[in-house]
Structure 1
Amino acid sequence: MSKIKDLFDSGKIKSAFIPYFTMGDPNYNDSITFGKTILDNGADILELGIPFSDPVADGPVIQRAVARSLKNKFSFEEIFRVTKEIHSHKKETPLVYLTYFNPIYHCGIQNFLNQAKDSGVVGLVIPDLPFDTEESEILFQELRKRDMDLIHLVTPASTKKRIEALKKTSSGFIYYVTSFGVTGERREFSVDLKERIRFLKDTIQLPICAGFGISTPEQASQIAGYADGIIIGSAIQRVIEENGQNSMSAKNALAEYIAKIRAAIP
């Protein structure tokens, strides 16, 4: 049984808070500080972004974060080192990687998964992984051998047929994209968001966590009323961007922001 399933089945939380940030922005040692700060201030699951040169699902804030990160020397050794340090700070909190498929492929699927598991990671979100391919099947089976989850994204454009088919290789939770387009902060969400999340949960029978665009405590509180989790990335990355030249300032700003969101989620 996966650590993520245990969390949602425990009954300890009504709606999970899942923050995201890109590792390596502005450097890898600061990423350790940021990760620990986020864990200390209320993350139920922490999503760690592996920088990649073509982040097609991400908006300008995260694209800039990735660009800053890639100015540092990229290595999987560094990625796994940072992850281990964050994991060792609060081992009970599940860690998830958000990564594109290319880095996994070049590292070697089994090698990547073994090192990710050893670093404390319990699931993967892969925006560019087609769900109905041989690679998806292989990856799902390899993850299942390690009690790790493959977390699929579902968008407002996903058909009922596609959603039904996702059941075969989905576990942990579903990352529901609240709006069309790439990541980024938004003022409004579609009026039928609540109904779509309920439909998705009834159809696929996994926790549904909503992301893309959520940034304020008010938005988090509203959507947490009917989603099993709230995912926030761009707003967190903006805090890092605006304070990144001073790690203590960024740490304090992150702590304040994360605590406000956590307090808004029941």
Structure 2
Amino acid sequence: MTRIDATFERLKSEGKKAFVSYMMAGDPDEATALSVMRGLPAAGVDIIELGLPFTDPMADGSTIQLAGQRALENGMTLEKTLDMVRAFRSDDDTTPIVLMGYYNPIYNRGVDQFLIDAKEAGIDGLIVVDLPPEEDEELCIPAQNAGLNFIRLATPTTDDQRLPKVLQNTSGFVYYVSITGITGAAAAQAADVAPEVARIKAQTDLPVIVGFGIRTPDVAEEIAGVADGCVVGSAIVAELASGKSGDEVLSFVKTLADGAHSA
């Protein structure tokens, strides 16, 4: 059982939905990013989704693209991202961390070495958005064998014929993308999300977490109310980009977590 599995079991026993927060490693700088990351659990975050900076983040909107550019310009690398996780783990051995990014940096490091390093650093799961199920032998299955969850995205365009393929080697949870498009592009609507979550849950026992388009506590509550939890990314990254202090950002995160947990 991974930390992700244990977290969902705990939340289920407490009758609570999950709140997942996204942040970009190294944005706006290494020290601030680590300080914010360390404060996320106390702000109510159940699972941390940590972005791995990459030069061509095709699934991300401008907010997260710019965060990745800032991190790269500040010298953030895959190794420094893993060091950030190691530093976090020196104080927190329970909060799950999901590394979200693209395959190129992992491929460049070598899959076998990456998986050894990620596991040692304290990563619990991976979301690699540019590896489809047809490429599961490339990273998904080796990651599962190494004890890491491999979390797949389902979208509004994932039809009933495609869905079983998406789910077949997924573990940890299913990430449902609430809108068609890139991160931060539009607002999520619970009325649209609810039937899609039900459709996915009819084919898997995994928790279904909804992301994209969630910016306020009210929307977090509405979306978590029709799923097993929600993810907020661009709204948090935008707070950091605006120059707010780490404490101010964490206060904002807490309002979102409180919204999701009240669902």
Q: What is the aligned length?
A: 259
C-alpha deviation, 1:77, in angstroms:
2.5
Equivalent of residue 27 in structure 1, options 23, 26, 29:
29
Correspondence for 1:252 among 247, 253, 257: 247
Return the letter of the residue paired with 1:181: G
Whether the 8 Å contact between 1:186 and 1:215 is mirrored in structure 2 is no
Q: Secondary structure of the residue that 2:165 maps to in structure 1?
A: helix
How many angstroms apart in 2 are the aligned matches of 1:74 and 1:93? 23
Q: Is the 8 A contact 1:163 1:204 kept in 2?
A: no
Cα offset, 1:30, TM superposition: 1.6
Give the drift of 1:138: 4.0
Residue 85 of structure 1: CA displacement?
1.1
Correspondence for 1:246 = none
User: What is the aligned partner in structure 2 of residue 142 from structure 1?
Assistant: 142
- Partner residue, 1:128: 130
Is contact 2:175-2:210 (8 Å) kept? yes
Mapping of residues 182-193 of structure 1, within 5 Å: 182-184=182-184, 186-189=186-189, 191-193=191-193
Matched residue type, 1:121 = I
**Deviation at residue 188 of structure 1 after TM alignment:** 4.9
Deviation (angstroms), 1:39: 2.2
| Aligned counterpart in structure 1 of residue 19 of structure 2, from 6, 17, 29 | 17
What residue ranges of structure 2 are gaps of 5+ in the alignment? none
**SS of residue paired to 1:21:** strand
TM-score when scaled to structure 2?
0.94
RMSD value, Cα: 1.5
Which residue number in structure 1 is paired with residue 259 of structure 2? 264
Shift of the alpha carbon at 1:185? Answer: 5.8
Identical counterparts, % of pairs: 34
Shift of 1:189: 2.1
Asked if structure 1 preserves the Cα contact closer than 8 Å seen for 2:153 and 2:177, the reply is yes
Question: In the TM superposition, what whole-angstrom CA distance separates every residue of 1:166-215 from its partner, at most 9, and x where no partner exists?
Answer: 23210000110000100006345273310111111111221100001101
- 1:259 and 1:212 map into 2 onto residues whose CA distance is 18
Q: For 2:134 and 2:175, locate their aligned partners in 1 and report how far apart those are by CA, in whole Å.
A: 17
Change (3 A) 1:162 1:187: closer
* Equivalent residues in 2 for 1:187-266, closer than 5 Å: 187-189=187-189, 191-243=191-243, 249-265=244-260, 266=262
TM-score, normalization: structure 1? 0.93
Query: In 1, distance between residues paired with 2:91 and 2:170?
Result: 28
- The CA distance in 1 between the partners of 2:110 and 2:216, in whole Å, is 39
Give distance in 2, aligned partners of 1:178 and 1:212: 6
How far apart, CA to CA, are the structure 2 residues paired with 1:56 and 1:17? 25
- The 5 A counterparts of 1:79-94 are 79-94=81-96
Corresponding residue number in structure 1 for 2:108: 106
Extract unaligned runs of 5+ from structure 1: 244-248
What SS does the corresponding residue of 1:81 show, helix, strand or coil?
helix
- How far off is 1:141 after superposition? 2.4
